[in-house]
Amino acid sequence: MAREATNHRSTSETSIQLTIKLDGSGVSRISTGIAFFDHMLTLFSKHGLMDLDVAAKGDIEVDFHHTVEDTGIALGQAITQALGDKAGIRRYGFFYVPMDEALVRTVVDLSGRPFLAYNAPERVSAIGGNFEFQLVEEFLRALSVHAGMNLHVDVLAGRDAHHMAEGIFKSLARALDQATSVDSRVQGIPSTKGVL
């Protein structure tokens, strides 16, 4: 059965149409109106080998916060839908990604219990002058909550905001690819509780 989902989220601040195919090849079509965010979602798709289409329209004339957060919400909901009952998945995933001086570790548990542990430098300069680094954390929190994901992201080294953000999205993609992958040895739900 194809593990894919389409989600449409519409509020007074944003309208997001999103489709994800977990067992893809990294093909994406991304349009959020925020160039740097488009870049991050494109590489997330590419390195996670998930096909991803995102068409988002938001009140970016106010700021980027609503669009970034609501995209995280929509993506988390779509991942949950695509996973179904989670039978046969590995459940856990982790990955380290170096980006020049930056080093990022991401660890994922698709437990159904959302939690974000995020450790990154504070007071980081905006990327390209207008994308606040803080927005990465907002995206991750929304994704974690709506995917029912225990997510630990640690920027272990880094100075350049672009490199740190890119390391986060790439390591997240690889960790999710591991966690969502099907393992033929896993019988049913990967939990002694029998449900995730």
pLDDT in tens, 49-105: 999 999 999 999 999 999 999 999 999 999 999 999 999 999 999 999 999 999 999
Confidence band (pLDDT; 50, 70, 90) for 2? confident
C-alpha torsion angle, residues 118, 123, 126, 127 (rounded to 10): -50
Residue 114 lies in a domain: yes
Residue 12 lies in a domain: yes
- Which domain range does residue 28 map to? 4-180
Is residue 107's pLDDT more than 90? Answer: yes
Residue 107 lies in a domain: yes
Residue 194 lies in a domain: no
End-to-end CA distance of the chain: 19
Burial profile 174-191: b = 16 or more Cβ within 10 angstroms, e = fewer: bbbbbbbbeeeeeeebbe
* Residue among 62, 50, 42 at smallest CA distance from 180: 50
DSSP string, 102-149: EEEEEEEE--S--EEEEE--SSPPPBTTTB-THHHHHHHHHHHHHHT-
Is residue 1's pLDDT more than 80? Answer: no
Confidence band (pLDDT; 50, 70, 90) for 116? very high
Residue 190 lies in a domain: no
37-46, 66-75, 173-182, 187-196: which range is least confident on average? Answer: 187-196
Radius of gyration of the chain measured on its C-alpha atoms: 16
* Residue among 62, 63, 55 at smallest CA distance from 19: 55
Tell me the C-alpha distance between 69 and 57, whole Å.
Answer: 12
pLDDT at 55: 98
pLDDT at 193: 86
Residue 79 lies in a domain: yes
CATH number, domain containing residue 81: 3.30.230.40
Confidence band (pLDDT; 50, 70, 90) for 195? confident
Give me the number of domains the chain comprises: 1
Residue 141 lies in a domain: yes
C-alpha neighbours within 13 Å on the C-beta side of residue 123: 0
Residue 133 lies in a domain: yes
Higher pLDDT, 193 or 46: 46
| Helix and strand element counts for the chain (H, E) | 4, 8
Single-letter amino acid code for the residue at 139: F
pLDDT tens digits along 138-161: 999 999 999 999 999 999 999 999
